[in-house]
Amino acid sequence: MIKDGYYGEFGGAYIPEMLYPPVEELRLNYEKILASKSFQNEFQELLKSYVGRPTPLYFAKNLSKKIGCKIYLKREDLCHTGAHKINNTVGQILIAKHLGKNRIIAETGAGQHGVATATACALMGMECLVYMGEKDIKRQAPNVSRMKMLGAKVVPATSGSKTLKDATNEAIRDWINNPESTHYIIGSVVGPHPYPDLVAQLQSVISKEVKKQLKELEGRDYPDYLVACVGGGSNAAGLYYDYLEDERTKIIAVEAAGKGILTSESAATTQLGNVGIIHGSKTLLMQNKDGQITEPYSISAGLDYPGIGPMHAHLFTSQRAEFISIDDHEAMQAGLALSKTEGIIPAIETSHAFAIFKHKDFQPEDVLVFNLSGRGDKDLATYIDYFKLEE
Amino acid sequence: MIDQKIKNRIEEKIASKDNLLNIYFTAGFPGIEDTRKVITNLVNSGVDMIEIGLPYSDPIADGEVIQKSSTQALRNGMNTSLLFQQLEGVRDEVDVPFIIMGYFNAMLQYGIEEFCQKCNSIGIDGIIMPDLPIETYENEYKTIFEKYQLNFICLITPQTSTERIKKIDSVSSGFIYAVSSASTTGKTDGFGSEQINYFKRIQSMNLKNKCMVGFGIKDQQSFSQVCQYAKGGIIGSAFIKFLEENGVDRTDEFVKNIRFE
Ligand SMILES: Cc1ncc(COP(=O)(O)O)c(C=O)c1O
């Protein structure tokens, strides 16, 4: 699907010359490293014994009955640190080691990627700086504490909208200032080539496992639908990866509509965005007519990003994937419903995916695989506040 | 209509003298109506080239000072069309080379050809788009820039390989913008032997384009230092800071304090 760094018209590396050397170093080496035996041995071993893979593919009996189709949950919430993000950070830290880097930087929105990066750094004994929007530091306090316990330095991003996009800008600036010592672990399938491809490949372990597990459970290795939420798009890319060329499987991507796509407070990029450049990548993004990037909004910090990865932009414009946008209220209700029906409290990012049933009908024989991208512990305060659970 | 200007102001300036002082400012900063005032004051203070910053929401190559000025300029209401409007007729008054420095997305949304055409009609001489890579420029946009007689000025850094510098030199025009160290704007503090060696290395390459050094120049000492090895220096953050503290009317003092001849 990717050719010379582009998915269709999307992708590329629109970066200042100051970033050319480290990005080029990564571009020239990542495929070689990913294919090498030493990397694969170490990566697979860590995924198994440290991350806790394979994660279960769980048949959600109650939910299936309630909705009237066959619903499987890919339990990325059971990964160490509670989300899919660690698949990427463990992989990238090994790449950083191969490249001889000793300092790691990352951006984070919800804090999940920050925690996953801090975790991998603690494991490998590397210095770790995580850039996080000042606003997100407040609304994701437990994850900030976790990062600090893990030995990372959390640097508040105070520019612009003080959320994920600004944390990403700050991380990029740090890299410009430290191109030789530092590897930048981007947290999603965004950024300049080769990041979208690199992160998608590292997350593709999700779809590889689904294939095997579904074959055992359903007697066929492909579902009718794959469903995932999309912030930048890494958990979605991981789930879709091995099915991208398999037309038997339909792909559903769920974006955050925030307070609704007709309000100015939304993060539904495909509905509200158009083609432009964000963080070094040509993709769909939310912007005004002058190309100034819009401040997005979602109740979930992990979906509060004004762009989507170039792969997803291509999946959207080529109509390979169907995009559905879910507002705050629908997502919160779906999160509560999943908790009560299956005994699983999902991250609010993930909750968005489980709100599609009002927007789309399924047949009783349809097999759906949802990426349960993360657990809801980090969001308890938001859930409590929203549902007034303390009363 | 293309303004078939017979002269290239940047080339002429570079051929005419040494120790060129190129000053960057953010359009619409500190006040929305200050763009023309700053230009007039800079010209009256005798600067050799002016870099007009088109403010951007996410300026990844810039440091804190320029980013803050950009945020303020955007809040003031600056945008691409307004900047072009403000610059209308500027060539009746002044003849120094103008370079627009901005980010590629702003140009993309305006329309590449429309943007270039507008620059040409106003009398802009060159464009710096730090996030438009040389390969993409060469393959997709070079013919348009040339049609409208706009120099495409590229950055190099101490990490840029000799081979890549040669490539950039052959594809770009106007001058080469040598970033003094691996940094965003406004970050560095004086030049050490490593940087001097880098300046010397570029000097010895006999490039087609002359070189101007930017990032980290903030006073007479740093300016005169880079002028030993390059055609001149570019000052951004230090000038923005000065504007912040002193307003737009004392530009003269700033420039006097930089000049050493
Ligand atoms: C649990 C969870 N799901 C999804 C996301 C969204 O990111 P992506 O679209 O890259 O999977 C995040 C981001 O923080 C997350 O924490």
- pLDDT tens per residue across all 391 residues of chain A: 899 999 999 999 999 999 999 999 999 999 999 999 999 999 999 999 999 999 999 999 999 999 999 999 999 999 999 999 999 999 999 999 999 999 999 999 889 999 999 999 999 999 999 999 998 898 788 899 999 999 999 999 998 778 888 899 999 999 999 999 999 999 999 999 999 999 999 999 999 999 999 999 999 999 999 999 999 999 999 999 999 999 999 999 999 999 999 999 999 999 999 999 999 999 999 999 999 999 899 999 899 999 999 999 999 999 999 999 999 999 999 999 999 999 999 999 999 999 999 999 999 999 999 999 999 998 998 999 999 876 6
Active site residue A373: yes
Task: Find the CB nearest A291 among B61, B105, B134.
Answer: B105
Residues B177 and B195: their CA atoms lie apart, in Å, by: 14
The predicted-structure confidence for B152-184, as pLDDT tens digits, reads as follows 999 999 999 999 999 999 999 999 999 998 666
Residues 6+ away with beta carbon under 8 Å from A260: A266, A327
Q: How many CB atoms lie within 10 A of CB A212?
A: 12
Decide: helix, strand or coil at residue A169: helix
Q: In which order are the strands placed within the sheet that holds A127-133? A: A153-157, A127-133, A103-108, A182-185
State yes or no: pLDDT of B261 exceeds 60. yes
- Separation of alpha carbons A227 and A372, rounded Å: 9
Ligand 1 centroid to residue B26 C-alpha, Å: 36
| Shortest distance, CA B261 to any CA of chain A (angstroms) | 32
Pairs across A and B, CB distance < 8 A: 112
Structure tokens at A276: 């432009």
pTM strictly above 0.90: yes
Q: How far apart are the first and last CA of chain B?
A: 41
CB contact under 8 A, A14 and B133: yes
Distance CA A130, CA A63 (A): 37
Question: In Å, how far is A285's CA from the nearest CA of chain B?
Answer: 11
Separation of alpha carbons B180 and B158, rounded Å: 7
Q: Is the CB of A349 under 6 A from ligand 1?
A: yes
Torsion of CA B83, B212, B137, B152, to 10 degrees: 50
Instruction: Given the residues A70, A74, A85, A282, select the one marked as catalytic.
Output: A85
- Find out whether the beta carbon of A350 lies less than 6 Å from any atom of ligand 1: yes
Residues A370, A229: Cα–Cα separation, whole Å: 9
C-alpha A295 – ligand 1 centre gap (Å): 18
Name the more confident of B100 and A135.
Answer: B100
Mean pLDDT calculated for residue range B32-44: 98
- Pick the atom of ligand 1 nearest to A109's CA: 14
The answer, yes or no, to whether any atom of ligand 1 lies below 6 A from the CB of A109, is yes
Contact A251, A243 (CB under 8 A): yes
Please name the amino acid found at residue A276.
Answer: G
The C-alpha atoms of residue B238 and residue A215 are separated, in whole angstroms, by 64
More confident position, A118 or B6: A118
Q: Is B51 a catalytic residue?
A: yes
pLDDT of residue A32: 98
Ligand 1: distance of its center to the CA of B178 in Å?
A: 39
**Upstream peptide bond of A296 is cis (omega within 30 degrees of 0):** no
Nearest-by-Cβ selection for B61 from A18, A180, A277: A18
Report pLDDT for B49: 98
Amino acid, res. B164: R
Instruction: Delimit the domains of chain B by residue range.
Output: 9-258
Does the domain spanning B9-258 belong to CATH 3.20.20.70?
yes
Instruction: Give all domains of chain A, ordered by start, each with its CATH number.
Output: 2-47+85-199 (3.40.50.1100), 52-82+204-387 (3.40.50.1100)
Distance CA A83, CA A66 (A): 26
Give residue B187's pLDDT band: very low, low, confident or very high (50, 70, 90).
Answer: low
A110 lines ligand 1 (CB under 6 A): yes
Per DSSP bridges, beta strands A281-285 and A321-327 are unpaired
pLDDT for the residue B194? 87
Residues in A lying within 8 Å of B, measured between beta carbons: 12-18, 20-21, 159-160, 165-166, 169, 172-173, 176-180, 275-280, 287, 289-293
Q: Is A18's CB within 8 Å of B184's CB?
A: yes
What does DSSP assign to residue B231? S
